[in-house]
Structure 1
Amino acid sequence: MSERTYRAAIIGTGGIAHAHAQAVQGSGGRAELVAVADVDAGRAREFAAKYGVPHAYGSAEELLAAQRPDLAHLCTPPALHTPLALACLDAGVTALVEKPPTLSLAELDTLIEAEARSTAHVATVLQHRFGAGAVRLRRLAGEGRLGRALLATCDTKWYRDEAYYAVPWRGTWESEGGGPTMGHGIHQFDLLLSVLGPWREVTAVAARQARDVDTEDVSMALVTFESGAVATVVNSVLSPRQTSELRFDYEHATVEVEHLYGYTDDDWTITPAPGHDTLSELWGQDRSSASSGHSGWLAAVLDAFDQGQEPPVGTADARRTMEFIAALYASAFTGERVQAGQITADHPFALRMDGTGAPWRKSP
């Protein structure tokens, strides 16, 4: 049991905010939702009434000034993440930011600099890292039970129609920061990166195949890791049969998961190589029925708070994933291989994810 109950707030009461509210309510008293804010004050009041929250505000500034919570869940459209996270840091409030954390590497570096001056932190909500299957996989891999990682595949094949993109902030570089690479596939390839470790090189393509948007609607990448492992990454919003799949081929076993928006242990399989049958027994230990949703992620955040530590997926950790995204776009739009560390502060793809411009960019 936590030593204290942390005071939480939600800023932005759209769809994903409900998952955050439910996670707080399901925390067993470790956190309590004390306030919400939304630019639509009426929607904020409705949300507060639904979840029994005592205070609702029409702006984040009002909420932070009046309540000074321990943590603020930022559930707004992506373009607001950086200014709101900066406001939280100025107020000494830890910001828990929905993906993507910022629109660019430059914005993330701004948060890193501001965080160094604050008593608070910024952490990104990448909940699939915290499901039981992912935790087990990293543990077995770290113990050397699976042997060397050889290759992996990472597919986010979802379907989003024109009505989805009728929301004004979707499908633009200025407000969403990118297409499925930035806003959809990030969960799967962030999990891939958390398992396989630092990446070394990216070769990619991106295309606008079917949706009338400014960003890509599909991307593909070949990735080489420092360990020598290689992987493919596919991000799509054009796939009528939707799936989220990860496959890891190690020397001693293949480990796979297939789900859509969240997995349980039932979605994972392990196939041992000949002579390594005991791995099935190891994988089957400590099975969990919990989903890789916001509840497990929030529990990890609160554990860190209890121990006086930075919450998981902090700015340095999130930067590695964001650098991967920038490298994917840079490779796709320039036709070049991109190395880790190549996108420096003044690089066009550090300043904007579309960098020098998507090849299909509309003329002004």
Structure 2
Amino acid sequence: MSYQRLSDRRVRIGMVGVGGHAYRNLLPALTFLPVELVAIADVDETLAHRTAAQYGVRHSYPTAAQMYANEDLDAVLICVSPQLHPGLAIEAFAAGLHVWMEKPAAPTVAEVDRMIEARGELLCTVGYKKVFMPAAVKVRELLASAALGEVRTILAQYPLSIPLGGEAAENSMWLANGCHPVSLLLSLAGPAASLTVHRAKDNAGALLIRHESGVLSNIHLSHGAPFGQPFERYTVFGDQATAEIDNTRRVTFQRGMPFDYAGTTSFVAEGLDSGAIVWEPQDSFNTLENRPEFTQGLHGGLRHFLDCVLKKRPPRLAHLEFARQVAAVHQAALLSDNQEVALTDLKDKA
């Protein structure tokens, strides 16, 4: 971890879009990253100017193009609506800049393909923060070590609804937040081959994803559940053990216990080789590992992008090819109505 003011090598960045999310989350996170914020662009010139002044940034612009023409930048952080991502990313690539953009990358596969075509040798990642959560990193470690044994199914719980096509999908929670559980599941089980959506009242229900690996994941769409309570969970079921992420901040590696149906008399087996191992923030100190920008993966995603820029290496996670997988799931789910939809080329589908 590199504090901005202590970093010997820093990426010169511009920021496009300084609305509520960028102001509350991205800008404060830069304190813990090897960057130099050079300029800001936002269509709201007053907002851009005030934000620049707060962060000691000399120049602000009403358009990204003006910022690119006047500033010496290495990369740009784009934080606007997903419908605007393709045009702004392609504009940045044309200016020779590496790109980090907020999630999701775009509503459709075709729009992600446009960005892939324009990217060339430049680097680009998307802010699928759940992929970078320490909890997700730990579960991928358990999977890689084979500690869970053979994994067949994964269960996710997230308060979403999935509309059936139509204009309602353009600005739905499925577009804005569906990428959170989808990206995490893809990072755990690999690319999706097909999916089926079963809808209940108000488009709640279940999304079943059949992964190319053979794993079947299920997102329980708990639409209507109160946001004022823990609502997000992921459980990976292996034939040797299970791993559970509870509300992003708790990982349980459940190894089970020695068990004989007719003879076991205690749930507390002797020794330390059975039972559960739990990782969670202690929250006793105001230290970094307890802060939401770290526990939720925002810092991890930004750091991965910046490390790739500094070391001139392609990203391993959350790149545009991965974003294409997320977009394919998003797009296909709008088409499924109790029938399985294969995630083939979706560029020409509504």
TM-score normalised over the length of structure 1: 0.78
Aligned partner (choices 272, 288, 293) of residue 255 of structure 2: 272
Structure 2 match to 1:255:
243
Aligned residue pairs total: 317
**Which whole-Å deviations, capped at 9, do the CAs of 1:203-255 have from their partners, x for residues lacking one?**
1145782xxxxxxx646311222333222113455322551221111112221
Q: Deviations over 1:139-177 (max 9, x none)?
A: 220121111112111122169xxxxxxxxxxxx977973
Does the CA contact (< 8 Å) of 1:21 and 1:33 recur in 2? no
- Quick one: distance in 1 between partners of 2:277 and 2:233? 22
Q: Are positions 1:194 and 2:187 aligned together?
A: yes
Greater C-alpha radius of gyration: 2
Distance in 2 (alpha carbons) for counterparts of 1:74 and 1:280 = 45
Q: Distance in 2 between matches of 1:294 and 1:331?
A: 31
**Partner Cα separation in structure 2 for residue 131 and residue 14 of structure 1:** 24
Cα distance in structure 2, aligned partners of 1:8 and 1:279: 49
Contiguous gaps of at least 5 residues in structure 1: 160-171, 210-216, 349-354, 356-364
- The answer for the alignment partner of 2:93 in structure 1 is 89
Determine if contact 1:181/1:235 at 8 Å carries over to the other structure: no
Q: Using the TM superposition, give the Cα deviation of residue 39 of structure 1 relative to its aligned residue in structure 2, in angstroms.
A: 0.4
**Contact 1:155–1:245 under 8 Å retained in 2:** yes
Whether 2:27 is the aligned partner of 1:25: answer no
Match of 1:125 in 2: 127
Partner of 2:286: none
* SS, match of residue 218 in structure 2: strand
TM-score, length basis structure 2: 0.81
Cα 1:96–1:299 shift into 2, 3 Å: same
Contact (CA 8 Å) 1:11, 1:74: kept in 2 or not?
Answer: yes
By how many angstroms is 1:88 displaced?
0.4
Q: Which residue of 1 aligns with 2:175?
A: 182
Closer/same/farther in 2, CA of residues 279 and 319 from structure 1, 3 Å limit: farther
Q: Does the 8 Å CA contact 1:136/1:283 hold for their aligned counterparts?
A: no
Partners of 2:195 and 2:341 within 8 A in 1: yes
CA 1:173/1:57 → structure 2, altered by over 3 Å: closer, same or farther?
farther
Residue 255 of structure 2 contacts residue 276 of structure 2 at CA under 8 Å; is this kept in 1? Answer: no
Backbone CA RMSD of aligned residues: 2.9
Q: How big is each residue's C-alpha offset from its partner over 1:302-356, in whole Å with a ceiling of 9 and x where there is no partner?
A: 2222321123411111111111212222213xx431123x23433x1xxxxxx2x
Structure 2: segments with no counterpart, 5+ residues: 259-268, 283-288
State the partner residue of 1:292.
296
Q: What amino acid sits opposite 1:8 in the alignment?
A: I
Residue from 304, 328, 342 that aligns with 1:323: 328
SS at match of 1:111: helix
**Identity within the alignment, %:** 27
CA distance in 2, matches of 1:176, 1:49: 37
Aligned equivalents of 2:8, 2:81: Cα separation in 1: 33
SS at match of 1:24: helix
Q: Are the equivalent residues in 2 in contact too, given 1:180–1:236 (CA < 8 A)?
A: no
Distance 1:305 1:101 in 2: 19
Residue 285 of structure 1 and its aligned partner are, at CA, apart by 11
